[in-house]
Amino acid sequence: MSEAIKTDVVIIGGGIVGASAALFLRTRGVQVILIDAAQCGSKASGVNYGGVRRQGRSLELLPLSQRAFDLWAQIKMLIGIDGEYIRSGHLKLARNRDDFGVLEAYREQTRGFGMHLELMSGAALQKRFPWVGPSVYGASLCPEDGHANPRIVSPAFARAALRAGAVIMENTRVVAASRSSQGFELQCDNGQHLQCAQLLNCAGAWGADIARLFGEDTPLVAIHPAMAVTEPLPAFIDVNIGIQGGGAYIRQVERGNCVVGGARGFATDNNYAKPGGEAIGVIMQRLGELVPGLRHAQLIRTWSGYEGSFGDGKPVIGPSATTPGLYHAFGFCGEGFQTGPAVGEMLADFVTKGETGIPVAPFSIQRFGR
Ligand SMILES: Cc1cc2nc3c(=O)[nH]c(=O)nc-3n(C[C@H](O)[C@H](O)[C@H](O)COP(=O)(O)OP(=O)(O)OC[C@H]3O[C@@H](n4cnc5c(N)ncnc54)[C@H](O)[C@@H]3O)c2cc1C
């Protein structure tokens, strides 16, 4: 066995959650090793849709989402690039009166979060967004939500952590972990042996495997959103679009390509997933009805990815129920890219202060029992 490398904190998982935790910890002077089984930012954090929205988040998630909104405003200062982040607005479409009622109720429930939701329907909607199809009943606009390019943002968090002094180990999988009175001992598949005082489980859709090493079973399942991108089209969509009730989403980037998603693909093994032709057909049919300008667009690439889901719409964030010094932040589903920077900051709070100002009780691992 190789000699142990010692550090203050080891972070398992170099997605946007783990990499931002590494960055915030380094800015507070904490020694960090960030370890990833593949490349930092190559899993969900690098292949997602790129939606950076608060609209539609649950009341429990909104304080975290709101803090992330503030951090996204500082993205260039944090990671050195703007990540193609723009506050385009997020427009949530309602197909019928009932769905519009849900949007109206959401606006009432979330007053006080500063989202300034604007509801519109009929002629007013068509006038403001002429590319919306006539079958759309109404919509809710969150003017300051937006989108970004995950392929460049998430690896940039890891690079920023590296510049700030974090040690990064890629293509290195943690295969065993335990805690003794001396702290944590980790074994990696390449023979590396690490010791640390505190451990962060940021292993995304694989986070349940790490939690299980410490006697914590969680009902995490992996899901695989299907994604595609069109050929460059003349600019016509100037907001990030979702649909009440789900089912499809679309954003157009500066080069003209439209990024779309909304149905489920499938796993090919424990690491990779494919969208499948059927899911892509479903997405394009749904979007073609709501945004007619897309009907004849050619797709130039399709893909999918791995994200975790507990089925209750919430991740696990916070201290382990069994092991002092271990903090979990995994099982993020459609919200992890937007909230990731704020989760990283929260984890740095836990490590350096033992607490965080953002309510985390709803995300406790204890909600699944012991
Ligand atoms: C197709 C798709 C579309 C999405 N769209 C959006 C969106 O529009 N907006 C949004 O906010 N969210 C979206 N999400 C969700 C978002 O991408 C994720 O919630 C977020 O990226 C999770 O980040 P993470 O750091 O927790 O996980 P990941 O990015 O998956 O990172 C976890 C890392 O842990 C590593 N790892 C796992 N096990 C080990 C181990 N034993 N040892 C070492 N390393 C390990 C993995 O290699 C991986 O790099 C989408 C997800 C997908 C897949």
| Tens digit of pLDDT at every position of the chain (370 positions) | 578 999 999 999 999 999 999 999 999 999 999 999 999 999 999 999 999 999 999 999 999 999 999 999 999 999 999 999 999 999 999 999 999 999 999 999 999 999 999 999 999 999 999 999 999 999 999 999 999 999 999 999 999 999 999 999 999 999 999 999 889 999 999 999 999 999 999 999 999 999 999 999 999 999 999 999 999 999 999 999 999 999 899 999 999 999 999 999 999 999 999 999 999 999 999 999 999 999 999 999 999 999 999 999 999 999 999 999 999 999 999 999 999 999 999 999 999 999 999 999 999 999 998 6
Q: Which atom of ligand 1 is nearest to the CA of 17?
A: 25
Tokens of 320: 């382990």
Is the Cβ atom of 310 under 6 angstroms away from ligand 1? Answer: no
Is the Cβ atom of 145 under 6 angstroms away from ligand 1? Answer: no
| CA contacts within 13 A on the Cβ side of 296 | 1
Is the Cβ atom of 336 under 6 angstroms away from ligand 1? Answer: yes
| CA contacts within 13 A on the Cβ side of 221 | 8
| Distance between Cα 43 and ligand 1 center (Å) | 5
| Distance between Cα 206 and ligand 1 center (Å) | 9
Helix (H, G, I), strand (E, B) or coil at 250: strand
- Considering Cα of 201, then 207, then 213, then 218, what sign does the dihedral take? positive
Q: Which amino acid is at 166?
A: A
Radius of gyration of the chain (CA): 21
Q: Which atom of ligand 1 is nearest to the CA of 335?
A: 11
Contact 118, 143 (CB under 8 A): yes
| Distance between Cα 19 and ligand 1 center (Å) | 11
Cβ neighbours around 257 below 10 Å, total: 18
Whole-angstrom CA distances from 364 to 320, 328, 361 are 8, 9, 5
| Distance between Cα 124 and ligand 1 center (Å) | 38
How far apart are the C-alpha atoms of 289 and 292, rounded to whole Å? 6
Burial 90-108 (b: 16+ CB within 10 A, else e): bbbbbbeeebbeebeebbe
Which residue has its alpha carbon closest to ligand 1 atom 9?
51
| Distance between Cα 15 and ligand 1 center (Å) | 6
Instruction: Enumerate domains of the chain plus CATH numbers.
Output: 5-49+151-218+312-368 (3.50.50.60), 90-143+225-304 (3.30.9.10)
